[in-house]
Chain A
Amino acid sequence: DIVMTQSPDSLALSLGERATINCKSSHSLLSSSNSRNNLTWYQQKLGQPPKVLIYWASNRESGVPDRFRGSGSGTDFTLTINSLQAEDVAVYYCQQYYSTPRTFGQGTRVEIK
C-alpha cells in the first residue's frame, strides 16, 4: 500500500495568515500514462463528509475559492491556503489515486488562533 504522511498534524493561525500543509507519499504518484500526479486534497468540516478541493495535485475543483492552491509532484505535495478565513476551519486530507487500495493521509487540523 502507498503510505501518505501529512505534516503538521495541526495548525493554529490568525485570520488572514497563510496555511501550508504538506503531504508525502511512499511511492511516486506521477502517472506515466497521463503525466499527471494522482493526488487529491479534501476538506472535512465537523459533522460533514469530505469535500474535494484539489485534484491532480494542482487542479482546483469548480467552486473552490482561489485562495486554495495545490502544488508538488512525485512524492511531495503541498496545500496552501492563502489569507485564512474563519470558514476554512476544518481537517484537510490528502489522498492518492495512483493505485488501490486508495489511501489517505492522517489529516491536518486547521484552527483559528
Chain B
Amino acid sequence: QVQLQESGPGLVKPSGTLSLTCDVSGGSISSNNWWIWVRQTPQKGLEWIGQIYHSGSTDYNPSLGGRVIIAIDKPQNQFSLTLTSVTAADTAVYYCARDSTSGSYFDSWGQGTLVTVSS
C-alpha cells in the first residue's frame, strides 16, 4: 500500500516562496500514475493545484497564474511543489496524492500539511 507524506515549512512570508515535498513509500514514483497536489481552505474548499508524471510531464491549474512548479525526484522517490509570490490567500492545508492507474480518482493521500502565509 503506497503511503505519501508531505513536509516543508509551516510558515511562509508574504511575497515569498512556498516549497513542499511529498515522500512516496511502498511504491515507485515511476509507476503508471500521475502525482498530484491539492490544497484545501475553508473559503474555497478543495482546489487541484496540478500534477506530474514520472516522464516529467506536468499540468497546472491556470487559476494559480503561472506561480506553480511541480517537480519529480526519482532517486529520492519524491515529488515537490513550489508556489511563488504567495499571499494570505495561499494559506491552506496542502495535500499530495496519487491518481489511480485508471485515472479515475485520487486513491492515496498524504495526511496534509498546514501552510500559513504571514509576516
Q: Which residue of A lies closest to B100 (CB)?
A: A55
Interface window among A14-22, A71-79, A82-90, A96-104: A96-104
Distance between A99 CB and nearest chain B CB, rounded to angstroms: 10
A105 to B48, CA, bound (A): 12
Partner of B103, one of A50, A97, A105: A97
- Count chain A residues whose beta carbon lies closer than 8 angstroms to a beta carbon of B: 23
- B112 with A56: CB separation less than 8 A: no
User: Besides the contacts A100-B51, A100-B61, what 4 more A-B pairs have beta carbons closer than 8 Å?
Assistant: A1-B63, A49-B95, A55-B104, A104-B46
Interface residues, chain A, with chain B CB atoms under 8 Å away: 1, 38, 40, 42, 48-52, 55-56, 61, 93, 95, 97, 100-107
Pairs A–B under 8 Å by Cβ, sample size 19: A40-B104, A40-B105, A40-B106, A48-B111, A49-B109, A51-B109, A52-B106, A55-B104, A55-B105, A61-B105, A93-B45, A93-B46, A100-B48, A101-B61, A101-B62, A104-B45, A104-B47, A106-B45, A107-B45
